[in-house]
Chains A and B, each alone.
Chain A
Amino acid sequence: MNKISHPIEPEELMAYLDGELTANRATATAAHLGECAECQSVVAGFRGVSQNLKTWKAELAESEMPQAIATALAESRPESREVSPAHRRSWREVLGQHWAILAWAGAVAAVLLVMFGTVRLPGGDANRAFTSVASQMGDSGSDRDRIPLRESTGPTSAGKPAETVLLIAPEEKEAATGHDLVSNGPMIIRSAQLSLITKEFDKARANLEAILKRHRGYVGELKAGGGTGSGRALTATLRVPADQLDATLTEVKTLGRVESESQSGQDVTSQYVDLQARLANARNTEQRLTDLLRHRTGKLSDVLEVEKELDRVRGEIEQMEAERKNMSNQVSYATLNATIAEDYKAQLQVVPPSTSTRLSNAAIEGYRSMADGVVSLALFLLSNGPSLLLWGVVLFFPARLVWKKVRSSFAA
């Protein structure tokens, strides 16, 4: 017995019987089996084993679907997949059986968490991300403490300032932190109102823009104006990153005398979680409907019905997605309503205009009145001329007749 006379290994003969060989190898094996009696006997041995095994039968009599399965099936409506007591019990059993593994895994996870947390916290980016998340959780009291830390953070190893890490678009920031916020703590929409009076209005306005730029905020709305007898005023709705709100407020207060100040925070964690759950459900529904369309065939009316439902679900998804983004944006960016008024001082010494100015004004006034007169006359003639002409023609001959009679009577 050698490999030349038996190019097929016994294991391959078995795989051939099981239909597990590639087409080429199966062809070669079949060809060899046709001419090799020894291999045929090996194959017969395998077949004999299989036939012997088949004598051990375990058949179940046909019967109806058991009640337990029917009940579980009835409870398995997609919208109400709640965990039944029996299922909870089985989880308890599973947890009980694997308590040692679970405890070990938990301990390892805790050690890793502590290790990585301790090692990475003093660094730049990880610490910054952690600080950003923590501050967005509404921990306003510690923001002032964090400002010096940010400013003292040196350049990164790449030579770029560490601040560039946070210079990302609001949408990216939301994507990076929105889900973490929900998993790590409450989501707070922060807002503040500040009213100032300043003696140097122009300087205060320029400084306000500089502060906004420094804290990576932007102007949501801005109105500036002022009237005679009062100072100028500026009303602005500013949006600043939530973790920068306290620092921004501190700097804005230096622009003048604070008349009033207020802060508020709205916890939207439950709304956000609810929105995410509804969004996930809608996406699941969309996936199922898409699968239905892809894999099922049916009447055209059914297909159209599914298409219609799919459109509705997609519309809901887009609406909820926009709502979620808006909420994340509101959490990520706090709103600061600032009012800056000028400290008004009445002008006691009014300087009269000069003679040349008065002559110039008089000349301009004269020219303006002459032009106005010409224009008024032209307008009068254009609007009333046709009527006057008509009445003139109509009254000319009677008037002439009367005039002649009067002249003749006087002459007589």
Chain B
Amino acid sequence: MLEFQCGSHPAFEQLFARYRGPLYGFFRRRLNGDQRAEDLTQETFVAVIRASARYEPRALVRTYLYSIAMNLLAAERRKQFRDSPPGELAPEPVTNHAPDAALWIRQALERLDDSEREILMLREYEQLSYAEIAELMKLSVNTVRSRLFRSRMALKGYLEPTQKVSHAVTAGDEKESVKLARAEGEAI
């Protein structure tokens, strides 16, 4: 990024090649429409180019890119909220191999709290660290960790509805459910 700030176009091309796919996935999983995700990916890079003079290496480039992407996503969601009637905002499932699994996953994710879903997706799909997620979401690292734990446990319950442990999981008592499972194991 610093090289690009100094005028190196090959540096930007490298940046583009590395982050184009992940950014597209970021938008595609959160928005309706393949084309819109691609447009927002482009807008993210255009914003990076235009703001390169003001760039300061205070965080990782990845965090910087996703912070721009999150701002664009928030603006897009506000725009969609104004322009579209409710009920049309959920993204369509996108998959190349297993549409049923993707639909299943998507429905399970939709049942999560917004903040917990965002943290989980940033961790699982964007592979961001707890500290990076905390910086992007303006939360403490401990909050990120606890919410991530809650969301994973809840998602596990949604994805495995027949298991006893999963049934016991709710948004507020994940730890207790795990402890219960452990206790059952000890009793056996």
Contacts and interface: CB of A to CB of B under 8 A. Distances in A.
A56 B165 CA distance: 24
A76 interface: yes
Contacts, number: 144
Interface residues of B, number: 65
A58 B124 contact: no
Contact of A38 (B3, B21, B50, B181): B181
B3 to A, nearest CB: 8
A81 to B, nearest CB: 5
A162 to B, nearest CB: 41
A371 B37 CA distance: 112
B149 interface: yes
Interface string B149-183: 10011011001100001000000001100111111
A59 B179 CA distance: 38
B84 interface: no
B111 interface: no
A205 B106 CA distance: 92
A1 B182 CA distance: 6
A56 B46 contact: no
Contact of A56 (B12, B20, B94, B148): B94
Q: State the main secondary structure of chain A at its contact with B.
A: helix
Interface of B: 2-3, 5-7, 9, 12-13, 16, 20-21, 24-25, 28-29, 37-38, 41-42, 45-46, 49-50, 52-53, 75, 78, 93-98, 101-102, 104-106, 120, 123-125, 129-130, 145-146, 148-149, 152-153, 155-156, 159-160, 165, 174-175, 178-183, 185-186
A56 B52 CA distance: 33
A93 B43 CA distance: 14
Contacts of B13: 65
B156 A11 contact: no
A interface bracket (residues with beta carbon within 8 Å of B) = 35 or more
Contacts of B6: 288, 291-292
A223 interface: no
Given A48-B156, A58-B25, 10 more contacts: A9-B175, A10-B178, A14-B149, A20-B130, A41-B185, A42-B178, A53-B124, A60-B38, A73-B12, A73-B49
Contacts of B165: 45
